[in-house]
Amino acid sequence: MAAKPRLNAEPREDRGTAAARRLRHKGWVPAVLYGAKRPTTHLQVSARELRALLAHRTSIHVLVELVLPGEDRRLAVVQELQAHPSRDELLHLDLHEVLLTESLRTTVPIEGRGVPFGVREQGGILEHTLFALEIECLAQDLPELLRVDVSELRLGQALLVKDLPPLPAVRVLTDPEVSVFAVSAQRVHAEAEEAAAAAEAAAAPAVVGEPSGEEAEEQPTAAGRPAGRG
C-alpha cells in the first residue's frame, strides 16, 4: 500500500463549546475519532497541519495515517470537516478509523476533463449534474478522484454513471442510470434557469429577522456526512 499522508493528533480532555473555542483560539481543531470497534476518542489537531494536508486535495475524504502520542499509528478517513460560514476558521473534524480489511462506504468526487465536441463545435453548454459517486471499497483501495474525459460528448448527449470508467477494486452504489454530464442547447439551458429562479422566488418566505450575533457565529458549514461531535 502506498504511503498515506500523516496527521498528528493529541488527546483532548476538556469538552464543550467554551473549551472548543479556547482550542481554536490556540490554533487547534477539536476532533473525534470513532470506528474500528473502539470507543470514541476525543482529539485535537493542528489547524495549520490540517489545512496543509487538505490544501491540494479534491475531496475531504482522505485516508490518513493518524499519529497519536505513545500509540501505534492508526488509519482513519476524514469523514467530516466543519468550517465557519463567514470566517476562515475550521471548527470541528470527524475521523473514522478503519482497518485495511474493512469495507468502507463513502463518496469519490467526479471531475470532467476536456471540452466537449458539443460545446466547441455545436454551441452547446456542458452540464455537470452529479459531482460525487457513492462507492464501497476496502480502505487501501479508496480513490481520491474520478477523472472523466468529456471531450467526445455531442449536443443532446449525456454520460451516465454506467458509462464512467471503472475504478479498480471499487463497487459503485449510485444508480447506473443517473446522468453525470450532459451537453444541452444554450436556449434550453437558459430557459430552465429562468424557470427555476422564478419558482424559487415565488416559494421564498419573507425574511422577518436575522439570528443574533452569537447564533450566527455558531452556525457551521459541513463538508461530508454528518457525524457526532465532541
Write the CB contacts of 28 (distance below 8 Å, at least 6 apart in sequence).
44, 45, 46, 47
| Predicted local distance difference test score (pLDDT) of residue 28 | 95
Residue 146, judged by CB atoms within 10 A of its CB (0-12, 13-18, 19+), counts as buried
CB atoms < 10 A from the CB of 9, how many? 26
Q: How far apart are CA 226 and CA 221, in angstroms?
A: 11
Report the DSSP beta bridge partners of residue 9.
Answer: 45
Distances (CA, A) of 178 to 118, 126, 166, 182, 224: 20, 16, 16, 11, 21
| pLDDT digit string (tens) for the chain, length 230 residues | 456 889 999 999 888 899 999 999 999 999 999 988 889 999 999 999 999 988 877 677 788 999 999 877 889 988 899 999 988 899 999 999 988 888 888 889 999 999 999 999 999 999 999 999 999 999 888 888 899 999 999 999 999 999 999 998 999 999 999 999 999 998 655 556 677 777 776 665 544 334 433 333 444 555 544 344 44
| Predicted local distance difference test score (pLDDT) of residue 216 | 37
Q: Which CATH superfamily is domain 6-99 in?
A: Ribosomal Protein L25; Chain P (2.40.240.10)
* CA dihedral sign, ordered 133, 136, 139, 140: negative
| Predicted local distance difference test score (pLDDT) of residue 101 | 81
pTM above 0.75, yes or no: no
| Predicted local distance difference test score (pLDDT) of residue 3 | 67
In the chain, domain spans: 6-99, 105-201
Residue 40: closest CA among 30, 54, 50 = 30
| Predicted local distance difference test score (pLDDT) of residue 187 | 64
| Predicted local distance difference test score (pLDDT) of residue 209 | 39
| Predicted local distance difference test score (pLDDT) of residue 191 | 59
Straight-line distance from the first to the last Cα atom of the chain, in angstroms, rounded to the nearest whole number? 31
Residue 224: closest CA among 112, 87, 61, 98 = 61
Please provide the CATH number assigned to the domain covering 105-201: 2.170.120.20
Q: Are strands 170-172 and 132-138 parallel, antiparallel or unpaired?
A: antiparallel
